[in-house]
């Protein structure tokens, strides 16, 4: 389990990083926290010719607020974001979801953007971005492009990032809703979820439900429903529509049943949050 | 811009356990291998090389992370701390180590250095964790021998909650 | 024993091992320096479950930077013979595949290079052409006539079938009120030590000898297997075991084929060769516990008394039978009736080979498979006869007064009081509390069940048990096999410093501490005064084929040999001191570092002075005494006899008892099983160090939970392996291990001088059975497959809901 050879480059700024991507495109991979990429390299599942290490770019290590959005730079670690003092008030859903991302030790190095770039179907951060209607900031020599979450993650481990683009930041709109809940079912603590469900209550009888782990990318839907039975029915319909992934740990039917069982619970949990 | 080509060896300078050290490496060398085989710090162990087991956990600039998911070239100029730094020079165990012995928190001891380093970081940030918080951090490590109870008891003892 | 009254033995002395391990000063195999010029190896493995190797093209790989050699099956054939196995069957396994691959992950070639990174690079340039063959993956299908054969000459995949009959099973079934029958599946899993395999091999062409450092655990009965494979006498195959090893749990026996492979590589390259297994290789191909399908049936009276028992056990060993397999199928043979007094039993043991990773040694070694079947059956007897499960257990237990008790299949249970152990475990309101919790949960419509498991835990295997796989006539021809020799040497230097060399390998069991306790106790010294040197070296240390750490042989075996060696030294020193103190040897006692007269304690010499006499002044020794202060205690208990002509065998020396009870709740929303409360009662005879003993139990408990709920090696129908990373093979973290309450009772074994029994495997055997019983109780279902993953629980709940629907339809009188 030793990586194949590659060139290692540690640019001094974003412009250099972007120039490297322009020159090398697909042959290069961006190394931020390395918590997914390094494991892939150790298994020799990828063969980049070059690693561009952005983990030390100070200009990307910032959490900024502006335009009603919280912008998280590409080298901000998950634990740094979790420790950001305004998280619970400005992004209450993320405050609930971030502790489920990996473990203390992996959050220390794993980045917020890296997890979103990796686009695992059941990981928490892509689901949070989708739920909150966030966006991804991509930079290339041609300029900057901003993609909405739904346009960014296309499928399992697949995104709309062009090979010469660097994800410089993601942006989460400051949340006005305070009633949020999150729950996931995993085999072990800290594992990728079999299913992850997030709920944001928008107004009375109106809520947004996000699901990870059912298909190649997170699904977010709005519902007007009251009462467990109605929510359950809605979840059943959603399950039928999404079908669900099939793997060693869970059948598609089990994922659908989990969605049916848990959707009302998570909605109720959200409703219980003080508005 | 620092660049090291694949076949090139480069000298990495870092602080290891408070001492300036350096050694040559190629860009793909994992920090875990670098520590163990280039710098002789064999107290850091390798149990999976894919970030799950936690055996290889070290502190980089004071923060606990997996050295198997880090490249040696990434610690240029940084301070790395490993389990070898915990006891005093005459071999006296620190409070956390001593609590591990008192509570039979290790058997084969292979997982132990990583766990000690995780908690060296974590307890610096949260000196009085609850049992749930201890378990939350400990869940980033696999131990096959102990069933974990002794480890939890040791950390509770070390943090004065026992 | 007079002055042998314990001061440190039997107390929870803190471990001597810990300070070094806590300081990063452990000496694990990969930490030790290697000779300059050592090369590094990487194994190329089969991607196919079953295929012919058409061609291996190494040309391009050999041109890569830093590459010294690419070794293939052809080379291995040149320098070695196939490994010996217990059966006379045409199953040839070398350390690399020859002509054919038989499981995904099977070693096909070895790349040797300047470092591991380069070896892995070059491996990608090796071209292997395969012709895929149909694979036999499922053990039942593999037994069918039309199944693809793994070993053509063997003509069948079912390579051994042995039927045993004890007592009158036919009669028992004829007069029984009822027959209760069950089929139980035990899945493949491993206990994946955190440290993987490490081997460093060197070859000396002048002496024609190999020198191998490896974190091998034994049994050393494998040493002759390796030496024979390399075509050298044992003395030319030196094996050294590093002082620390990162866990083993049986798994590090199976490093042995790689010890031979690295040896061949060292011979071919003329350089020392090091190989460090990585986790991907370990999960894919290191070793697994065997999967077993057991058909079990009891003949019972209407009050649940078991009159007779039939077991048909089909065990799947994967692609090859590795020495000493099929151990798990035979190790429990004497105790196949568990804790129960069942005079009539028939057993059929079948060994099948399939296109999967070979199975081998693993903690519990046949116990988990046996007890899942037996204890599930006892639960089914209760369900089918509408009796209380605990009552059925109690009704069948071996009576306390009947020890030593001879089982139907020939085990001689040394001691025990199962009834009082169960009273203790269920007492103090424990069972009442569980029932309260269950009733409350059920009243609220939740799924809650109580499980029990009663387990007899063998310690120190009879090396002859495996010969029961041969018929009596075959055994006669081959010569009887039996016993389990333990050897420990105690040495006293001129200053009176004491060192001890035991015949164990260490993977965290605290042997150094316990041996120090024993020897210190006997010699009137402090635990710190004893140095235990645990770096077994076959060229220099005493060892027998039983050496190593496995089958809980430490406490009943090595610990006794340590006691004997210390007593031999003590007798000698007593005689030396008696002469100088002018008293009789039996007036001598060893206290606080002094050797003194019992009658007149002031008449004393320091321990070191007495020892010095032997070294410096042989003339002062009693007449005829040899001056050596190096004594080897050799322990060979007479109870470990060869199998009798009617196939009865005392499979082990000691037999501990474990009784578990637990409550589990099943979450119908998430399909997860939550262990609500768990109590485990142990009788392991005398405890030598209660803290270390309980540590072993806790470790086994966690592994039992792993087997019950999390860990499984999964292959698909084609034989592809699906559990290849720690993200898919689920080792529980602290969050998954429930609290457990341990209780102890001590009925000393009369068969060992220390009274101590093996104790580190019991919970691996009891926990899966206990949890399976609790789940069956919670859901009212019969067939429970482990691990009880959410996926499986989801399936079971569907069954339950369908049944409930059916019942309510019936209750409503409809649908007719
Ligand atoms: S070796 Fe790094 S996490 Fe396992
Ligand atoms: S003590 Fe052996 S793995 Fe933790």
Strand partners, C201: C212, C273
- State the architecture of A7-53 in CATH terms: 2-Layer Sandwich (3.30)
Kindly report the CATH number that applies to the domain delimited by A180-272: 3.30.390.50
Å from A228 to nearest chain B CA? 31
Q: What pairing do the DSSP bridges indicate for beta strands C630-635 and C604-606?
A: unpaired
Judge if C18-25+485-635 and C367-465+641-802 fold alike in CATH terms.
Answer: yes
User: Which parts of chain C sit beneath pLDDT 70?
Assistant: 1-6, 813-816
Nearest-by-Cβ selection for B101 from C19, C692, C694: C19
Q: Does C33 touch chain B (CB under 8 A)?
A: no
In ligand 1, which atom is closest to the CA atom of B49? 1
Å from B52 to nearest chain A CA? 9
B114 alpha carbon – ligand 1 mean position (Å): 9
State the Cα–Cα distance between residues A187 and C783, nearest whole angstrom.
22
Residue C389 and residue C449 in contact, taking contact as beta carbons nearer than 8 Å: no
pLDDT at A273: 86
Q: Which tens digit of pLDDT belongs to each residue from C491-507?
A: 999 999 999 999 999 99
B68 alpha carbon – ligand 1 mean position (Å): 5
Q: Which residues 548-577 on chain C approach chain B with CB closer than 8 angstroms?
A: none
Judged by CB atoms closer than 8 Å, whether chains meet at C280 and A249 is answered as no
* Minimal-distance CA residue to ligand 2 atom 3: B143
Å from B50 to nearest chain A CA? 5
State the Cα–Cα distance between residues C594 and C573, nearest whole angstrom.
11
Q: Where are the domains of chain A?
A: 7-53, 58-173, 180-272
Residue C320 and residue C290 in contact, taking contact as beta carbons nearer than 8 Å: no
State the Cα–Cα distance between residues C764 and C453, nearest whole angstrom.
12
With H, G, I as helix, E, B as strand and everything else as coil, classify residue C68. strand
Residues with CB under 6 A from ligand 2: B 106-112, 143-146; C 194, 247, 508
Residues with CB under 6 A from ligand 1: B 46-49, 51-56, 66, 68
For the CA of C695, the nearest ligand: 2
For the CA of B118, the nearest ligand: 1
Angle ∠(C319,C321,C327) on CA atoms, nearest 5: 130
C585 alpha carbon – ligand 2 mean position (Å): 46
Q: Where are the domains of chain B?
A: 10-83, 95-159
Edge-to-edge strands, sheet with C51-57: C100-101, C51-57, C127-132
A 10 A CB-CB count for C516 gives 27
The CA-based dihedral angle spanning residues C205, C206, C210, C211, taken in that order and rounded to the nearest 10 degrees: -120
Judge if A58-173 and A180-272 fold alike in CATH terms.
Answer: no
Half-sphere exposure of A103 (CA within 13 A, CB side): 29
Å from B88 to nearest chain C CA? 9
**C42 to chain A: nearest residue by CA?**
A1
State the Cα–Cα distance between residues C290 and C330, nearest whole angstrom.
13
Residue C531 and residue C491 in contact, taking contact as beta carbons nearer than 8 Å: no
Q: Where are the domains of chain C?
A: 18-25+485-635, 32-133+194-247+251-286, 367-465+641-802
Cβ neighbours of A48 in B, within 8 Å:
none
Q: Does B28 touch chain A (CB under 8 A)?
A: yes
Fold of the C18-25+485-635 domain: Aldehyde Oxidoreductase; domain 4 (3.30.365)
B149 alpha carbon – ligand 2 mean position (Å): 12
Nearest-by-Cβ selection for B27 from A8, A188, A189: A8
Nearest-by-Cβ selection for B104 from C245, C695, C725: C695
Nearest-by-Cβ selection for A39 from B2, B3, B50: B50
- Residue B89's contacts (CB-CB under 8 Å, 6 or more residues apart) are none
Q: Which residues 619-658 on chain C approach chain B with CB closer than 8 angstroms?
A: none
* Distance set, CA A153 to CA A116, C738, C804 (Å): 8, 38, 43
* Minimal-distance CA residue to ligand 2 atom 4: B143
Q: Which homologous superfamily does the CATH classification assign to the domain defined by B10-83?
A: Beta-grasp domain (3.10.20.30)
- Cis, peptide link before residue C404, omega less than 30° from 0: yes
Residue C497's Cβ-count burial label (10 Å; 0-12, 13-18, 19+) is: middle
CATH class (in words) of the domain with range C32-133+194-247+251-286: alpha beta
Q: H helices of C661-761, where?
A: 690-705
Neighbours of chain C (3+ CB pairs under 8 A): A, B
In ligand 2, which atom is closest to the CA atom of C507? 2
- Tokens standing for residue C202: 């060197």
**A253 to chain C: nearest residue by CA?**
C794
* Residue listed under structure tokens 């009176």: C496
Angle ∠(C676,C682,C684) on CA atoms, nearest 5: 155
Angle formed by the axes of helices C762-779 and C367-385, nearest 10°: 30
Q: Give the DSSP per-residue string, chain A.
A: --PPP-EEEE-SSHHHHHHHHHHHGGGEEEESS-TTHHHHHHTT----SEEEE-TT-GGGS-EEEETTEEEEETT-BHHHHHT-TTHHHH-HHHHHHGGGSS-HHHHTT-BHHHHHHHT-TT-HHHHHHHHTT-EEEEEETTEEEEEEHHHHEEETTEES--TT-EEEEEEEEPP----EEEEEE-SSTTSPPSEEEEEEEEETTEEEEEEESSSSS-EEEEEE--SHHHHHHHHHHHHHHH-----SS--HHHHHHHHHHHHHHHHHHHHHS--
pLDDT at C1: 37
Å from A190 to nearest chain B CA? 8
Å from B81 to nearest chain C CA? 12
Nearest-by-Cβ selection for A6 from B27, B57, B140: B27
Judged by CB atoms closer than 8 Å, whether chains meet at B28 and A6 is answered as yes
* Minimal-distance CA residue to ligand 1 atom 3: B51
Judged by CB atoms closer than 8 Å, whether chains meet at A191 and C794 is answered as no
- Residue C657's contacts (CB-CB under 8 Å, 6 or more residues apart) are C339, C416, C418, C421, C454, C455, C456, C457, C681, C682, C683
State the Cα–Cα distance between residues C677 and C511, nearest whole angstrom.
31
Residue C796 and residue C717 in contact, taking contact as beta carbons nearer than 8 Å: no
Q: Give the pLDDT band of residue A275 (cuts 50, 70, 90).
A: low
- Tokens standing for residue C187: 């899945």
Nearest-by-Cβ selection for B69 from A10, A38, A188: A38
State the Cα–Cα distance between residues C424 and C682, nearest whole angstrom.
10
The pLDDT of B27-33, averaged and rounded, is 98
Judged by CB atoms closer than 8 Å, whether chains meet at A11 and B1 is answered as yes
- Tokens standing for residue A99: 């502790």
Judged by CB atoms closer than 8 Å, whether chains meet at B66 and A2 is answered as no
With H, G, I as helix, E, B as strand and everything else as coil, classify residue B25. strand
Mutate which of B43, B46, B144 for ligand 1? The one with the most ligand atoms within 8 Å of its CB, which is B46
Cβ neighbours of C64 in B, within 8 Å:
none
* Residue listed under structure tokens 């007890």: C371
B109 alpha carbon – ligand 1 mean position (Å): 15
A 10 A CB-CB count for A61 gives 17
Residue C283 and residue C725 in contact, taking contact as beta carbons nearer than 8 Å: yes
pLDDT at C813: 65
* Residue listed under structure tokens 């060994």: C351
With H, G, I as helix, E, B as strand and everything else as coil, classify residue C561. helix
Q: Which tens digit of pLDDT belongs to each residue from A110-121?
A: 999 999 999 999
Q: Give the DSSP per-residue string, C115-170.
A: SHHHHHHHHTT-EEEEEE-----SHHHHHSTTSPPSSGGG--SEEEEEEEEES-HH
Helix (H) or strand (E) holding C513: helix C511-523
Å from B77 to nearest chain C CA? 23
Cβ neighbours of C284 in A, within 8 Å:
none
- The b/e string for B123-147 (b: 16+ C-beta within 10 A; e otherwise) is beeeeebeeeebbbbbbbbbbbbbb
Fold of the A58-173 domain: 3.30.465
Judged by CB atoms closer than 8 Å, whether chains meet at A261 and C732 is answered as no
* Residue listed under structure tokens 């075996």: C557
The CA-based dihedral angle spanning residues B34, B36, B39, B40, taken in that order and rounded to the nearest 10 degrees: -170
A 10 A CB-CB count for A24 gives 18
Most C CBs within 10 Å, among B37, B107, B140, B154, to test the C interface: B107
B47 alpha carbon – ligand 1 mean position (Å): 5
DSSP state of C335: G
Indicate the average pLDDT of chain A.
96
pLDDT at C305: 98
C263 backbone dihedrals φ, ψ, rounded to 5°: -65, -45
pTM, to two decimals: 0.97
Kindly report the CATH number that applies to the domain delimited by C367-465+641-802: 3.30.365.10
Kindly report the CATH number that applies to the domain delimited by B95-159: 1.10.150.120
Nearest to C659 by CA among C806, C471, C488, C456: C456
- Residue A238's contacts (CB-CB under 8 Å, 6 or more residues apart) are A209, A211, A219, A221, A259, A263
The pLDDT of B2-11, averaged and rounded, is 96
The pLDDT of B105-125, averaged and rounded, is 98
Q: Which tens digit of pLDDT belongs to each residue from A102-153?
A: 999 999 999 999 999 999 999 999 999 999 999 999 999 999 999 999 999 9
Neighbours of chain B (3+ CB pairs under 8 A): A, C
State the Cα–Cα distance between residues A267 and A226, nearest whole angstrom.
10
A110 alpha carbon – ligand 1 mean position (Å): 15
Q: Does A44 touch chain C (CB under 8 A)?
A: yes
A 10 A CB-CB count for C691 gives 18
Q: How many residues does chain B have?
A: 162
Nearest-by-Cβ selection for C116 from A2, A5, A250: A2
Most B CBs within 10 Å, among C190, C695, C696, C734, to test the B interface: C734
Judged by CB atoms closer than 8 Å, whether chains meet at B6 and A6 is answered as yes
Indicate the average pLDDT of chain B.
97
With H, G, I as helix, E, B as strand and everything else as coil, classify residue C284. helix
Residue A274's Cβ-count burial label (10 Å; 0-12, 13-18, 19+) is: exposed
Judged by CB atoms closer than 8 Å, whether chains meet at A8 and B4 is answered as yes
State the Cα–Cα distance between residues A49 and A68, nearest whole angstrom.
39
Q: How many residues does chain A have?
A: 275
- Residue C152's contacts (CB-CB under 8 Å, 6 or more residues apart) are none
- Tokens standing for residue C806: 């059916």
Cβ neighbours of C21 in B, within 8 Å:
106, 108-109, 112
pLDDT at C2: 39
State the Cα–Cα distance between residues C604 and C218, nearest whole angstrom.
44
* Distance set, CA C721 to CA C104, C128, C714 (Å): 7, 20, 6
């Amino acid at each position: 389990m030793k990586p194949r050879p590659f060139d290692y480059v540690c640019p001094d700024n974003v412009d250099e990083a972007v120039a490297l991507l322009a020159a090398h495109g697909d042959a290069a991979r961006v190394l931020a926290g390395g918590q997914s990429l390094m494991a892939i390299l150790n298994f020799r599942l990828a063969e980049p010719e070059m690693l561009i290490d952005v983990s030390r770019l100070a200009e990307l290590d910032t959490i900024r607020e502006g335009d009603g959005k919280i912008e998280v730079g590409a080298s901000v670690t998950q634990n740094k974001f979790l420790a950001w003092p305004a998280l619970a008030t400005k992004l209450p859903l993320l405050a609930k979801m971030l502790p489920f991302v990996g473990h203390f030790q992996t959050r220390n190095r794993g980045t917020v953007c890296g997890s979103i770039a990796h686009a695992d179907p059941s990981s928490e951060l892509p689901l949070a971005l989708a739920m909150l209607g966030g966006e991804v900031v991509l930079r290339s020599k041609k300029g900057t492009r901003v993609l909405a979450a739904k346009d960014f993650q296309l499928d399992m481990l697949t995104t709309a990032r062009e090979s010469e683009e660097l994800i410089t930041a993601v942006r989460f709109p400051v949340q006005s809703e305070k009633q949020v809940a999150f729950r996931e079912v995993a085999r072990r603590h800290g594992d990728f979820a079999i299913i992850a469900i997030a709920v944001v209550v928008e107004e009375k009888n109106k809520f947004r439900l996000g699901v990870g782990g059912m298909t190649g990318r997170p699904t977010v839907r709005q519902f007007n429903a009251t009462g467990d039975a109605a929510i359950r029915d809605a979840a059943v319909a959603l399950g039928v529509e999404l079908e669900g992934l099939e793997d060693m740990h869970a059948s598609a039917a089990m994922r659908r049943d989990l969605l049916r069982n848990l959707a009302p619970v998570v909605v109720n949990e959200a409703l219980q949050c003080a508005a | 811009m620092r660049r090291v080509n694949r076949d090139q060896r480069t000298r990495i300078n870092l602080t290891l356990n408070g001492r300036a050290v350096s050694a040559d490496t190629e860009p793909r060398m994992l920090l875990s291998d670098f520590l163990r085989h280039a710098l002789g710090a064999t107290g850091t162990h390798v149990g999976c090389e894919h970030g799950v087991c936690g055996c290889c956990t070290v502190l980089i600039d004071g923060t606990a992370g997996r050295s198997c998911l880090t490249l040696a070239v990434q610690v240029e100029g940084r301070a790395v701390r490993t389990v070898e730094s915990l006891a005093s020079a005459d071999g006296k165990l620190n409070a956390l180590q001593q609590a591990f012995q008192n509570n039979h928190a290790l058997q084969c001891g292979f997982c132990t250095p990583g766990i000690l380093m995780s908690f060296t970081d974590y307890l610096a940030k949260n000196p009085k964790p609850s049992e749930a918080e201890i378990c939350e951090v400990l869940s980033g490590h696999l131990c096959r021998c102990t069933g974990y109870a002794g480890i939890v008891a040791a950390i509770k003892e070390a943090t004065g909650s026992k | 024993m007079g002055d042998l009254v314990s001061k440190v033995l039997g107390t929870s002395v803190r471990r001597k091992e810990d300070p070094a391990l806590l300081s990063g000063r452990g000496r694990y195999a990969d930490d030790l320096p290697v000779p300059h010029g050592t090369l590094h190896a990487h194994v190329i493995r089969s991607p196919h479950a079953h295929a012919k190797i058409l061609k291996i093209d190494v040309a391009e790989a050999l041109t890569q930077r830093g590459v010294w050699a690419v070794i293939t099956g052809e080379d291995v054939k040149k320098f070695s013979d196939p490994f010996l196995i217990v059966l006379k069957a045409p199953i040839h396994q070398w350390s690399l595949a020859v002509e054919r691959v038989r499981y995904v992950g099977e070693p096909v070639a070895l790349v040797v290079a300047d470092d591991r990174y380069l070896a892995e690079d070059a491996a990608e340039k090796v071209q292997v052409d395969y012709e895929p063959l149909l694979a036999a993956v499922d053990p039942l299908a593999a037994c069918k006539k039309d199944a693809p054969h793994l070993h053509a000459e063997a003509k069948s995949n079912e390579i051994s079938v042995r039927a045993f009959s004890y007592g009158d099973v036919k009669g028992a079934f004829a007069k029984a009120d009822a027959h209760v029958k069950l089929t139980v599946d035990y899945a493949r899993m491993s206990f994946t030590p955190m440290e993987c395999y490490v081997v460093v091999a060197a070859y000396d062409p002048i002496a024609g000898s190999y020198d191998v450092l490896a974190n091998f655990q034994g049994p050393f009965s494998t040493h002759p297997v390796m030496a024979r494979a390399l075509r050298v006498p044992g003395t030319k195959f030196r094996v050294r075991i590093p002082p620390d090893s990162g866990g083993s749990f049986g798994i590090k026996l199976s490093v042995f084929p790689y010890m031979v492979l690295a040896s061949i590589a060292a011979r071919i390259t003329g350089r020392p060769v090091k190989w460090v297994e990585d986790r991907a290789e370990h999960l894919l191909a290191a070793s697994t516990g065997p999967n077993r399908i057991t058909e079990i049936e009891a003949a019972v009276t209407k009050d649940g008394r078991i009159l007779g028992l039939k077991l048909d056990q089909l065990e799947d060993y994967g692609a090859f039978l590795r020495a000493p397999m099929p151990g798990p199928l035979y190790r429990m043979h004497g105790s196949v009736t568990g804790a129960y007094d069942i005079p009539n039993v028939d057993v059929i043991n079948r060994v099948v080979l399939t296109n999967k990773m070979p199975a081998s040694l693993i903690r519990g070694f046949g116990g988990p498979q046996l007890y899942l079947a037996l204890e599930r059956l006892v639960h089914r007897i209760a369900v089918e006869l509408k009796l209380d499960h605990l009552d059925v257990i109690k009704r069948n237990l071996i009576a306390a007064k009947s020890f030593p008790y001879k089982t139907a299949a020939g085990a001689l249970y040394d001691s025990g009081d199962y009834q009082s152990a169960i009273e203790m475990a269920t007492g103090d309101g424990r069972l009442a509390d569980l029932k309260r919790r269950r009733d409350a949960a059920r009243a609220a419509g939740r799924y809650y069940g109580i499980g029990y498991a009663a387990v007899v835990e063998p310690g120190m295997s009879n090396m002859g048990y495996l010969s029961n796989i041969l018929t009596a006539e075959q055994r006669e021809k081959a010569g009887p096999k039996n016993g389990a020799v333990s050897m420990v040497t105690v040495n006293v230097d001129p200053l009176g410093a004491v060192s001890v060399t035991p015949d164990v390998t260490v993977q965290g069991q605290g042997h150094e501490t316990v041996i120090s306790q024993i020897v210190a106790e006997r010699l009137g010294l402090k635990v710190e005064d004893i140095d235990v040197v645990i770096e077994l070296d076959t060229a220099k240390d005493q060892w027998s084929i039983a050496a190593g750490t496995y089958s809980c042989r430490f406490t009943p075996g090595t610990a006794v040999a340590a006691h004997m060696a210390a007593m031999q030294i003590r007798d000698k020193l007593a005689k030396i001191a008696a002469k100088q103190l002018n008293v009789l040897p039996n007036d001598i006692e060893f206290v606080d570092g002094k050797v003194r007269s019992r009658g007149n304690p002031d008449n004393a010499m320091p321990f070191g002075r007495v020892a010095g006499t032997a070294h410096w002044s042989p003339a002062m020794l009693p007449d005829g005494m040899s001056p050596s202060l190096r004594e080897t205690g050799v322990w060979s208990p007479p109870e470990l006899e060869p199998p009798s002509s009617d196939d009865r065998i005392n499979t082990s020396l000691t037999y501990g008892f474990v009784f578990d009870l637990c409550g589990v709740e099943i979450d119908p929303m998430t399909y997860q099983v939550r262990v609500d409360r768990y109590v485990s009662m142990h009788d392991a005879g005398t405890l030598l160090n209660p803290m270390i003993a309980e540590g072993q139990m806790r470790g086994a408990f966690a592994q039992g939970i792993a087997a019950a709920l999390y860990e499984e090696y999964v292959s698909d129908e084609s034989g592809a392996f699906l559990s290849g990373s720690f993200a898919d093979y689920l080792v529980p973290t602290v969050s998954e291990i429930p609290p457990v309450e341990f209780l102890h009772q001590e009925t000393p074994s009369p068969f060992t001088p220390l009274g101590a029994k093996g104790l580190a495997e019991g919970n691996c055997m009891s926990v899966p059975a206990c949890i399976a019983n609790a789940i069956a109780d919670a859901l009212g279902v019969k067939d429970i497959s482990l691990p009880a993953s959410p996926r499986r629980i989801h399936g079971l709940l569907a069954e339950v809901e369908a049944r409930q629907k059916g019942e309510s339809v019936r209750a409503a009188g409809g649908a007719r």
